[in-house]
Amino acid sequence: MRWRLLFREQIKYCSTFKFSPERLKRSGCNLLKGRNLIDPMDFSLVELEEIFNYADEIIKDPKDFSHVCDGKILATLFYEPSTRTRLSFEAAMLRLGGQVLGFSEAQSSSASKGESVADTIRTVECYADIAAIRHPKEGAPKVAAMNSKIPVINAGDGGHQHPTQTLTDLLTIRNIKGGLSNFTIGICGDLKFGRTVHSLIKAMSRYENIKFVLIAPNELTIPKYIKLEVLEKNNIEFLEVEKLEDVIGNLDILYMTRVQQERFFNEEDYIRLKDSYILDKDKMLKAKKDMIILHPLPRVNEIAVEIDTDPRACYFRQAKYGMYVRMALIAKLLGVDK
């Protein structure tokens, strides 16, 4: 695979001369070009900052970027339902001047005939320059990346990871709260199956002075591997509680999530747990005046509609940041950023 070899050569070249990220950029050494995004830890903090800064430039003057991807094609391979992720990927590419193709359900692809993800991506790379893939099986986007000559982006794999939602969350926090350090972050709802939660904890654990308050019913607590390999390993302070009311007053950020119905084996369990949390005006009375509420969406019942007009409700702004950060990501991975 030529680009992988080229990339290795670039790394060797860049690390030999110990260039600073700024010097690397000036020297034309774009370390994001040709890369995949499968896990939130795939990019360094410097690389993330590069994407966020580029997203900020796009936000300031989107028209200036409307031809950056002229002649390029994004494939969206969605084996699971999606509104925001797929549409924001597609809007991102269209607003950069590129074009999109793909499918929005496994049934309308050759997966329904038994084709493997590896064969699908080998075919798609003949038609497109970059691919975003969402799949119910954990690890499927990684398999695609291992078999692909074009950059592959994980748009959500089962109950595992969702790194571009995390880019969205981080850009939102950075721009609304003015940074990514020194926060107490409450994460509430389905912490067991919620892939956005797993990716967010991984990514935020690299910033200074971050504390987590993990709010979930007993059956939906955070997986052990996140606790051991991310939180405990990095000495991150965290608290596990069941009641939102008891802790809401201490939070700078409240990240609400829905109970992930599609990952349950048993419908009765889902029905019992689905309304574990409902954020309403009463609960918000106890929250800080500058706490922000985030949600990857879709919302089911966990945030009462009456909260939407509260200035602290940032989830629809978050959805818009999702498009801008994907514009930045696509341009960087294609190496067409100007």
Q: Which residues of this protein are in contact with ligand NCD, per CB under 6 A?
A: 84-85, 156, 162, 165, 195-196, 257-258, 296-298
Q: How far is the CB of 149 from ligand NCD (least distance, A)?
A: 26
Known catalytic membership, residue 162 = yes
Secondary structure class of 306 (helix, strand, coil): helix
Q: How far is the CB of 190 from ligand NCD (least distance, A)?
A: 8
Known catalytic membership, residue 84 = yes
Residue 205 DSSP code: T
Nearer to ligand NCD by Cβ, of 135 and 162: the residue is 162
What does the alpha-carbon distance between residue 63 and residue 168 come to, in Å, rounded to a whole number? 21
Known catalytic membership, residue 134 = yes
* Catalytic, out of 76, 85, 166, 184: 85
Q: How far is the CB of 259 from ligand NCD (least distance, A)?
A: 9
Residue 221 DSSP code: P
Nearer to ligand NCD by Cβ, of 51 and 323: the residue is 323
Known catalytic membership, residue 113 = yes
Question: Quick check: 257 and 197 in contact, CB under 8 A?
Answer: yes
* Catalytic, out of 35, 86, 95, 134: 134
- Give, in order, the Cα–Cα distances in Å from 112 to each of 14, 109, 157, 231: 44, 6, 18, 39
Among 223, 214, 232, smallest CA distance to 192 is for: 223
Known catalytic membership, residue 160 = no
Q: How far is the CB of 297 from ligand NCD (least distance, A)?
A: 5
Nearer to ligand NCD by Cβ, of 33 and 134: the residue is 134
- Give, in order, the Cα–Cα distances in Å from 336 to each of 34, 52, 76, 167, 217: 11, 16, 19, 19, 46
Q: Residue number with the shortest CB distance to ligand NCD?
A: 296
Residue positions annotated with a catalytic role = 84-85, 113, 134, 162
